[in-house]
Structure 1
């Protein structure tokens, strides 16, 4: 019997099918087909469909991933976007009217923001959504749409804004009772870290394991942290994000705030973005670096070919100087925000500008001409990133459009002079409502809604009796 012939199979070397590149994306896909494959490859069970409200808080719905990819219709009422931080609703008036039907708004997922939620035990993903009316029109008063409106205004002029936020925050001990002051957490040394630790590496190392989780959670979501430092306050840190598109960077700050809070809770502490969480300690800012690029040439319009400043550069600063005080309620949105804006402190209370001058509201850092930018140092870290970016860029564009002239730069300390900004929330709201050019840029449906919310929040604050009143008024008046 002849031996059996050995079967010769064709070689498969070099022909193995490679996984599509998009499956490796940490954040974002281009289509629903890619979304389905991306979710399946990670075994994702649940999807958080989220969108920022006026405070920057995530609102939305959670659903199984199979339902998410089956072309299901998502909707939210308008109520969450007309609500104060304490869950109340403003009174009608001054252009604001609460819709009688409170009809549904459509949630439209932006698949470019699809990312994992690394702190969840079950495989979970999140996607940021836009809000549109039933006929497809963008909802004018929602924060992400407000920022998109401002970016579109730049686009109509052939311009593209580029931004880089810097976010300061505090780590504090857990404090379930709001009647007690916040205190710094205990680090690995077993002692609470003291203030005056700006740029201290030892201060950062006090929270090594927590910071490792911050980096891990951020990397898992494709959040591009540039640097992390310890700031001046006790337990105060700052994280800088890499520069880029305003909407994308606002999305990153939105996700980053969630990430920080979750990482902190894992280590039994709070991360807070309050502007002034601890009495006697520095406030927390969200500085915004801004430059503008010509879309055709890719050139930074703040710099001429010879490297000198352009007229557009000075016009942008002129717009900031004129309109930022009127937009302050978008940079300092709460009563607590104004505790940070005090004379002779690290936060500016002026509308001046200078070269590498940190006492001015608008600082021009030292840089090469192609990286020339304007840093807005007024916003506090409690600001909604979408609204802070929208307001800052809107003020600059108004300056460019109207060819507003900047005042001369300040070469000395500017924060000990007269205060150029509103001193409180109601004064800021009054100025905000009176700026017609700003309202035209941001959208009147938004400005009337936002102003009504801020007035309602102030009235809620006035119902609370503070420790200062009990200490100094109880037995003395």
Structure 2
């Protein structure tokens, strides 16, 4: 028989204390009692309470661990989630009204995300928080809640999405002066990294020590990397994550971005998730693999009992084709994002789909029926992972509900065909605001807030004179 000690730990006949299993969890606990034990066992001194803003940047507060477990109320101003990437505020209009009182939103820690911060010198932990109003209602325009809203609509129809993101990024020389172009870093050979290294093991080995740190940091946080490869660009890498629940995977991408940046800084270089950081190199994507399962049985509803494609599968693709151009602002959120979307490259600029065809926007990889899925190849790596997943899943869901039929699959390369996506930020915002079907799923308050932010970011960009303008206009016009 085991006796229970006063602190909740188990003791055997010899009086030896058995450590509770939960304190060894790399990621997540069930309740506040377990959180206290988890923090004590690790000697954690500080807690970072973080949440993603509209850009996917970590916002929040830091506090001593003892204060964290003492039922402390946490809050952030609502304005934090209405600012542009440069910290400016949008103008009222288009349904958006800036709150005059700038009232507080409450941070509610999701203890299933509790983990260490491995790059900090002092024992530190982090936890992702949800945002609620003072009455406890979820704040509908914040990214994690937007994704949750989409998943709730799936649940109402007995469905559950499964996703697997792939994130590309560049390693570049430190560049404190933004007037200068980014350049590839020097690897372990002492030579600048060149392009054309797709799937090269030697290319990965150029950054052995940095990649080891990425793996170690990730393992310490309970983050699972499926594979890591070198992409085509000079110093461009890609990390693939295992498939799972959309909120869990969005959380992982959110934390991976932070992890990779910190690992790179440790080696005195930058990691960037800009969509097109270097002019003559490929852009960086965040491809999203998606399937839908029956919430009760777990069966992939893209395949029937005979392993054939279902109407739901076709309608999901039809929804992507019909609505992704209207929601592109959530997948390509900045002026720079549209520099990646060019003809004649592996980046899709169309709304076509096909079987194992990487020139299409929506690729269906070869798989057995149970793993039938659709890969959305349009999102860029600068997208907020919560909003990118919410966007792609919402478009597919509208197709399922409206029974939208797709066109015929493309059997040839279509990356030279006419561009079928918005060519710039303002065009994308206008289409976004006009899609009532998406607005109903994503929520009016999110659509108006996000559109206002993007319009303000475009106006900020227009104040900057580019090198192209100085080169070709200065003495010629």
TM-score range, shorter chain: over 0.9
Task: Tell me the equivalent position of 1:187.
Answer: 187
Does structure 1 residue 85 correspond to structure 2 residue 85? yes
The whole-number CA distance in structure 2 between the counterparts of 1:428 and 1:12 is 65
Task: Tell me the equivalent position of 1:324.
Answer: 324
Task: Tell me the equivalent position of 1:75.
Answer: 75
Once the two structures are superposed, the pairs formed by residues 110-259 of structure 1 within 5 Å of their partners are: 110-259=110-259
User: How far did residue 17 of structure 1 move?
Assistant: 3.7
Q: Which runs of 5+ in 2 are unaligned?
A: 1-10
Task: Tell me the equivalent position of 2:102.
Answer: 102
Task: Tell me the equivalent position of 1:441.
Answer: 441
Does structure 1 residue 425 correspond to structure 2 residue 425? yes
The whole-number CA distance in structure 1 between the counterparts of 2:425 and 2:359 is 22
Task: Tell me the equivalent position of 2:50.
Answer: 50
Does structure 1 residue 373 correspond to structure 2 residue 373? yes
The whole-number CA distance in structure 1 between the counterparts of 2:458 and 2:356 is 36
1:22-58, CA deviations, whole angstroms, 9 ceiling, x for partnerless residues? 1111110000000000000000000000000000000
The whole-number CA distance in structure 2 between the counterparts of 1:455 and 1:269 is 32
Task: Tell me the equivalent position of 2:277.
Answer: 277
Does structure 1 residue 386 correspond to structure 2 residue 382? no
Does structure 1 residue 314 correspond to structure 2 residue 314? yes
User: How far did residue 13 of structure 1 move?
Assistant: 6.3
Q: How many residues align?
A: 467
Task: Tell me the equivalent position of 2:286.
Answer: 286
Q: For the structure 1 residues 123 and 408, does the alpha-carbon distance in structure 2 shift closer, same or farther, using more than 3 Å as the test?
A: same
Q: For the structure 1 residues 468 and 33, does the alpha-carbon distance in structure 2 shift closer, same or farther, using more than 3 Å as the test?
A: same
Q: For the structure 1 residues 167 and 12, does the alpha-carbon distance in structure 2 shift closer, same or farther, using more than 3 Å as the test?
A: closer
The whole-number CA distance in structure 1 between the counterparts of 2:369 and 2:388 is 26
Task: Tell me the equivalent position of 1:352.
Answer: 352
The whole-number CA distance in structure 1 between the counterparts of 2:368 and 2:220 is 33
Task: Report the 3-state secondary structure (helix = DSSP H, G, I; strand = E; otherwise coil) of the residue aligned with 1:219.
Answer: helix
1:75-105, CA deviations, whole angstroms, 9 ceiling, x for partnerless residues? 0010110000000000000000000100111
User: How far did residue 16 of structure 1 move?
Assistant: 3.8
Give structure 1 regions of 4+ aligned residues with deviation exceeding 2 angstroms. 11-18
User: How far did residue 15 of structure 1 move?
Assistant: 6.8
Q: For the structure 1 residues 89 and 15, does the alpha-carbon distance in structure 2 shift closer, same or farther, using more than 3 Å as the test?
A: same
Task: Tell me the equivalent position of 1:407.
Answer: 407
User: How far did residue 297 of structure 1 move?
Assistant: 1.4
Once the two structures are superposed, the pairs formed by residues 7-18 of structure 1 within 5 Å of their partners are: 16-18=16-18
The whole-number CA distance in structure 2 between the counterparts of 1:275 and 1:328 is 14
Q: RMSD between aligned alpha carbons? A: 1.0
Task: Report the 3-state secondary structure (helix = DSSP H, G, I; strand = E; otherwise coil) of the residue aligned with 2:360.
Answer: coil
Task: Report the 3-state secondary structure (helix = DSSP H, G, I; strand = E; otherwise coil) of the residue aligned with 1:264.
Answer: helix
1:209-228, CA deviations, whole angstroms, 9 ceiling, x for partnerless residues? 00000000000001100000
Q: Which runs of 5+ in 1 are unaligned?
A: 1-10
The 8 Å contact of residues 12 and 18 in structure 2, kept in 1 or not, is answered as no
1:416-474, CA deviations, whole angstroms, 9 ceiling, x for partnerless residues? 11110000010000000000010110001000000000000000000000000000000
1:261-311, CA deviations, whole angstroms, 9 ceiling, x for partnerless residues? 000000000000000000110000000000000011110000011111000
1:106-147, CA deviations, whole angstroms, 9 ceiling, x for partnerless residues? 000000000100000000000000000000110011000000
Task: Tell me the equivalent position of 1:8.
Answer: none
User: How far did residue 12 of structure 1 move?
Assistant: 6.0
The whole-number CA distance in structure 1 between the counterparts of 2:19 and 2:155 is 36
How does the TM-score come out when normalised to structure 2? 0.97
The whole-number CA distance in structure 2 between the counterparts of 1:347 and 1:444 is 31
Does structure 1 residue 65 correspond to structure 2 residue 71? no
The whole-number CA distance in structure 2 between the counterparts of 1:437 and 1:179 is 42
How does the TM-score come out when normalised to structure 1? 0.97
Task: Report the 3-state secondary structure (helix = DSSP H, G, I; strand = E; otherwise coil) of the residue aligned with 2:49.
Answer: strand
Task: Report the 3-state secondary structure (helix = DSSP H, G, I; strand = E; otherwise coil) of the residue aligned with 1:375.
Answer: strand
